[in-house]
Amino acid sequence: MVLSDVEEWMKRGAWHVIEAIEVVKTSGFPRSLGIEFCFTLRRRGNACYFYRRRVCTIYDLRPAVCRLFPFAYSERGVAVHPWALRNCPAVRLYGDRPPGEELRELAKEIMRELLGLPFYTTIVEELITSTGRVFPCNRFRVNVGLV
């Protein structure tokens, strides 16, 4: 999840989505870029909090990374997400086809915003706090700022 997602949710008054934002430690490609933490939506078990009965309940509000799926940005550029390669029947059926130009541009924008994460972490933290929800990772503030 990136700042443009939060801005869109604010414009549309989707406070229930903003209240579900959490901070998580990164791994893989983002970690290799020096991004220690990122924002995500709360999870229920192994699934997104907003994924119920095999349906995304915020489909029109879904974050950029969800719009990009089954693709993800990696050290190889934009490629099919490893999870999708293993689990998505459509990906298995149609193979590892390259994304269109629109998805490549979306992936670049997501990466630009992720790299700018240290500059907008405080804004998102204050927004979450203003909704009345306790920000889950206040103890990481210094680490996030050093990314």
From the list 130, 146, 124, 108, the residue with the least C-alpha distance to 5 is 124
A 10 A CB-CB count for 145 gives: 13
Summarize pLDDT for 29-69 with one digit per residue, the tens: 778 888 888 888 999 888 899 999 989 999 999 999 999 98
pLDDT range class, residue 140, cuts 50, 70, 90: very low
pTM for this model (two decimals): 0.73
Please, are residues 67 and 106 in contact by the beta-carbon 8 Å criterion?
A: yes
Domain count of the fold of the chain: 1
Domain that holds residue 15: 3-145
Summarize pLDDT for 80-136 with one digit per residue, the tens: 888 888 888 878 777 667 778 888 889 888 888 888 877 777 777 777 777 655 444
